[in-house]
Amino acid sequence: MTRLFLVRHGPTHAKSMVGWSDLPADLSDTAALFRLSAHLPEEAVVVSSDLSRAADTASAIQGDRLRLPHIEDLREIHFGDWELRRHSEIEAEDPDRIRAYWEYPGDVRPPGGESWNEVCARVDAAIDALVAEYLGRDLVVVGHFGMILTQIQRALRLEADQAFAHRIDNLSVTEISRLADGWQVGRINHHP
């Protein structure tokens, strides 16, 4: 069994759609970071997306755990032309596409961005490679809202819109285990 502790990065306080933009995380809540680090297995291996909000959060909770190089494929959704824009602004320009993107996730893609199915394929491949390399180990994977939802969707065999119904807060932990015969989901959006 390989246990995944999927941690969402610290807050950015952005009021827009943040995907591949490299905004920093607010890591000023040191008590929350301490509780989070203490909750995670001591012998776990830590890895993160290459975006600074995830990488810096990983550094803040790493402790004495082994740290792996950042993995670009663990990034958030690539919003393309919607990046750093408010939902209301995009809805005013392209209401049908943005509504379809969130209400019927799948093959709909933001201009210059990636579809939900593309995000799932990218993140699934990265997670599968980690599990294969660190089989039987605990992995702390620090990343993003979309990254975590891809794994919830896969493990629970949900439709994409059902996965989007889950709340994933900053500095929360979602626990998923890879067993010999499939996936097992523990706590989702847990706050230690």
CATH number at residue 108: 3.40.50.1240
CB-based contacts of 173: which residues, under 8 Å, 6+ apart?
A: 5, 6, 7, 36, 39, 40, 187, 190, 191, 192
- Decide if 71 contacts 124 (C-beta within 8 A): no
Contact 70, 47 (CB under 8 A): yes
The reply to whether 148 falls in a domain is yes
Whether 86 maps to a domain, the answer reads yes
Spell out the alpha helix ranges (H) of 62-136: 87-93, 95-103, 116-133
> Where is 147: in which H helix or E strand?
helix 145-156
Strand, coil or helix: 15: coil
pLDDT confidence of residue 46:
98
Q: Is 8 inside a domain boundary?
A: yes
Question: Residues, the chain, total?
Answer: 192
Confidence of residue 98 (pLDDT cuts 50, 70, 90): very high
pLDDT in the model for residue 104: 87
pLDDT for 9 beyond 90:
yes
Count of domains in the chain? 1
Q: What pLDDT score was predicted for residue 76?
A: 97
190 within some domain: no
181 domain-assigned:
yes
Quick check: is 76 catalytic? yes
Could you give the CA distance from residue 89 to residue 87 in angstroms, rounded to a whole number?
5
> Comparing C-alpha atoms, which of 189, 186, 190, 192 is closest to residue 4?
186
Q: Does 192 reside within a domain? A: no
Instruction: Read off the tokens for 85.
Output: 């824009």
Tell whether 180 is covered by a domain: yes
- Residue 130's domain comprises 2-185
Retrieve residue 136's tokens: 């039987």
119-124 mean pLDDT: 98
Residue 97 placed within a domain: yes
Indicate whether 105 pLDDT > 90: no
Q: Which of 70, 76, 118, 191 is catalytic?
A: 76
Query: Per-residue confidence at 100, pLDDT binned at 50, 70, 90?
Result: very high
What is the residue whose two structure tokens read 């750093």?
A: 84
Q: Residue 184's pLDDT band (boundaries 50, 70, 90)?
A: very high
Number of H helices, E strands in the chain: 7, 6
Q: Which amino acid is at 154?
A: R
Q: Classify strands 182-185 and 173-179 as parallel, antiparallel or unpaired.
A: antiparallel
| pTM, rounded to two decimals | 0.95
3-class state of residue 185 by DSSP: strand
Rounded to the nearest 5 degrees, what angle is found at the Cα of 141, between the Cα atoms of 135 and 144?
145
